[in-house]
Structure formats: C-alpha cells, structure tokens
Amino acid sequence: MGAGLGFKDFVTGEVLTANDVDGYLMQGVWVFANAAARTAAVTSPQEGNFSFLKDTNSTEYYSGSAWVSVAGGGGWTLLTSGTLSGASTTTASFSTSYTDLRVYILNFLPATDNAEFMMRFNGDSGANRHFGASNSPQLNQPFAQTSVNMATGNDNSVNTGIIIIDIPSYSNTTTWKIANSRNATVNATTTANVNIENRIGAYNQTTAISTLQFLPSTGNFTSGTYLVYGA
C-alpha cells in the first residue's frame, strides 16, 4: 500500500486508475484486531497511514519508522505484554520511537519466600544502579520488594499486587536512564494488610532500551503478567 495522495475532486465521467483507488479511496482508518494482524496485512506501511486496533482501542499513525499513538496529552500505547515464568522472562523487542515507558507487573508471585522483583534493561546483568539515599553503585538491585513471605500456601502469601515502573526518556542515547517504581501488595490474611513502597534508581548506560528482563531475586516465577506501554 502506497502513501496517501491527499484530496482530489473527481469530475463526472473520470476514469479511476489503480493508483487513484490506492492513493485516494483507500486512505481511511484501517481497522485490525491487533498489531500482529496489522503487520501481516500491511507489510510496507507508509508515513501518514492510520489504523485502529480493536484489542487496545487505540488509533495509531505510521511516522515513517513506527506506529505511534495519536492520543494527545501523553496517551499510552501497549508495546508488548506476556506472562512471567521460569527463572526470568524477557520481553520481545519493542519500538524506541516513543519518549517514555510505563511497565505494569500484575500479581507477581515467586516460588521462593521473600523473593524480590528485579528488572534488567536490555538483558544487562552487569550495569550498576543507584537506589534511595545510597551513593555507591549496586549491582542488580530489586525494583520492588515486600516484607511478607510470598510463597504459595504461606499464611502471609500475597493474594494480589501491582508494581508500576516509569522510565522517562528510555530511548535517548546521551544520558543515564532513571526508573521510578512503586508497588502495592495485599496479603491473604484476615487483616488484609497492604504494603506500599517506592524506589527510584539510575541505569548507568546511554543505550536506548529496547527489551526488559524480569526475574525474582531467587528461584522462579510462579505467576504474574507484564504490560509495557510507550508514550
């Protein structure tokens, strides 16, 4: 499908060419079930093409290098999602054409008591992070933690919870990346205790972030899902 040709005022009796049909009559908003269906149908999108995705109810345009949400005021576009499993889970590569990332981790549950949630940028296990008031670099520090046992079957096991991690300017290649996380967990007890915690840290690399790796500090994931949005 070629790029749209804009507007044309057709006259009575004019013969439509194939180029006219492609360039003028087929340049509305295309509707697809999801991004995968769009990719399969439109193998060579052109700058200015528009589409609507039914699974996320989002309208996007092709910028010339990526599909970008048309939502104003920092609208979020789902870039990738999946299930947490095994010793670690790595996202599929996502676009670096947005400005900010927001990551949701839902119902994180490790198999080992008191295991903390950790995240690596681009699978990098050696870069340093700074957290809280600490002035010394630390390797692979958790982005969220809880003070209760989290293993399935424990009286204080987490019943539900959410971790939200914001990574502004994730695609820049000139400065360190800052990540701010906050998490809340509800314990499966009669008192329904809620733990809320915030952490902020810096990733001392200047490469754009195109994948994220999630892992518990020890053991494996029992359950959980992740959603990564860009804006």
> Using one digit for the tens of pLDDT, what is the confidence trace for 122-147?
888 777 664 443 444 444 455 544 33
Q: What is the pLDDT of residue 6?
A: 58
Q: What is the pLDDT of residue 135?
A: 42
168-194 tens-digit pLDDT: 989 888 888 888 888 776 655 545 556
Structural contact between residues 193 and 66, judged by C-beta atoms closer than 8 angstroms:
no
For residue 15, give Cα distances in angstroms to 5, 9, 22: 17, 13, 14
Position 17 confidence tier, pLDDT thresholds 50, 70, 90: confident
Q: What is the pLDDT of residue 183?
A: 76
54-112 tens-digit pLDDT: 877 778 888 888 887 775 444 688 889 999 999 999 999 998 888 889 999 888 888 87
Structural contact between residues 38 and 29, judged by C-beta atoms closer than 8 angstroms:
no
Neighbours of 160 (CB within 10 A): 13
Burial label for 194, CB within 10 Å (0-12, 13-18, 19+), is exposed
12 has a pLDDT exceeding 60: yes
CB neighbour list of residue 144: distance below 8 Å, 6 or more residues apart:
105, 108, 116, 117, 163, 181, 182, 183, 197, 199
> pTM for this structure?
0.63
Rounded CA gap, 89 and 213, in Å?
6
202-222 tens-digit pLDDT: 788 888 999 999 888 788 888
Structural contact between residues 163 and 104, judged by C-beta atoms closer than 8 angstroms:
yes
Q: What is the pLDDT of residue 188?
A: 54
Q: Which of 64, 98, 62 is nearest to 78 (CA)?
A: 98
Domains of the chain: 1-70 (3.40.1620.70), 73-230 (2.60.120)
